[in-house]
């Protein structure tokens, strides 16, 4: 099994399935392609691995999957004992909904606060559109932590929904976002810190 990823300091989409695959405990090869190379070099290096010309891409035998959420779904089916989705049907539905919302939403936060794990933390003035994104994330986290009892979004087991929000936690750290300014009374902030203490994330960060 091989996972093709982009620059670890920047590629949120690569991080998500990498974390999920790491959690399965399966052995895999990692192919790293540096992003933002000039003159189309990045795409030229990705295309032999990924028909979309984008990373991440998972190669498992003759199977090639090149979308982060699709890769995570594949891993959940391939390694059912890893618990990447909650066992409880209701919790699983909420976790899938949360991951899908992250997959397609929060455009303002993405644009104003790109992930950069090499950047020193600092306070940034953010737009109201980004404030709205942060308030929604805080509300989502708090609602799920309350409903399923934590410590993770789907309950007791870290899974795909948590992998999808890990890059968000790095953004909050990098750009000095205080979740208490956006409606958090404590649980969301603790959860964000907990995401960045996971061994999978620490392994990713150690290899920048």
Q: What is the pLDDT of residue 26?
A: 98
Domain ranges of the chain: 2-82, 89-204
Over 90: is that where the pLDDT of 37 sits? no
Q: What class, spelled out in words, does domain 89-204 have in CATH?
A: mainly alpha
Quick: pLDDT tens for 50-65: 989 999 999 999 999 9
Q: What is the pLDDT of residue 131?
A: 98
Q: What is the pLDDT of residue 185?
A: 96
Q: What is the pLDDT of residue 103?
A: 97
Q: Give the chain's mean pLDDT.
A: 96
Strands (E), the chain: 2-6, 29-33, 57-60, 63-65
Q: Please list, in sequence order, all residues whose beta carbon lies within 8 angstroms of the beta carbon of residue 78, skipping any fewer than 6 positions away.
A: 24, 60
- Output the CA–CA distances (angstroms, integers) from residue 194 to 2, 58, 124, 145, in the order listed: 28, 27, 23, 13
- Least confident stretch, 39-43, 102-106, 170-174: 39-43
Q: What is the pLDDT of residue 43?
A: 85
Residues across the chain? 208
Q: What is the pLDDT of residue 141?
A: 98
| Distance between CA atoms of residues 20 and 196, nearest Å | 14
**What is the chain's alpha carbon radius of gyration, rounded to the nearest angstrom?**
17
Q: What class, spelled out in words, does domain 2-82 have in CATH?
A: alpha beta
- Least confident stretch, 23-37, 38-52, 95-109, 174-188: 38-52
pTM of this prediction? Answer: 0.96
Quick: pLDDT tens for 80-129: 999 999 999 999 999 999 999 999 999 999 999 999 999 999 999 999 99
Q: What is the pLDDT of residue 114?
A: 97
Over 80: is that where the pLDDT of 39 sits? no
Q: Please list, in sequence order, all residues whose beta carbon lies within 8 angstroms of the beta carbon of residue 133, skipping any fewer than 6 positions away.
A: 105, 106, 107, 108, 109
């Amino acid at each position: 099994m091989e996972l093709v990823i982009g620059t670890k300091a920047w590629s949120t989409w690569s991080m998500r399935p990498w974390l999920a695959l790491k959690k399965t405990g399966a052995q895999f090869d990692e192919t790293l392609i540096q992003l933002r190379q000039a003159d189309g070099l990045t795409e030229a290096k990705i295309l032999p691995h990924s028909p979309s010309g984008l990373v991440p891409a998972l190669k498992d035998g003759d199977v090639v999957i090149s979308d982060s959420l699709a890769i995570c779904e594949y891993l959940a089916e391939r390694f059912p004992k890893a618990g990447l989705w909650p066992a409880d049907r209701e919790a699983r539905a909420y976790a899938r909904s949360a991951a899908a919302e992250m997959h397609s939403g929060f455009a303002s936060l993405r644009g104003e606060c790109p992930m950069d794990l090499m950047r020193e933390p600092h306070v940034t003035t953010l737009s109201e559109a980004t404030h709205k994104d942060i308030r929604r994330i805080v509300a989502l986290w708090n609602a799920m932590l309350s409903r399923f009892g934590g410590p993770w979004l789907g309950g007791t087991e870290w899974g795909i929904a948590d992998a999808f929000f890990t890059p968000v936690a790095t953004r909050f750290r990098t750009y000095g976002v205080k979740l208490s300014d956006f409606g958090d009374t404590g649980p969301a902030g603790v959860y964000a810190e907990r995401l960045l203490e996971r061994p999978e994330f620490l392994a990713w960060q150690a290899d920048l």
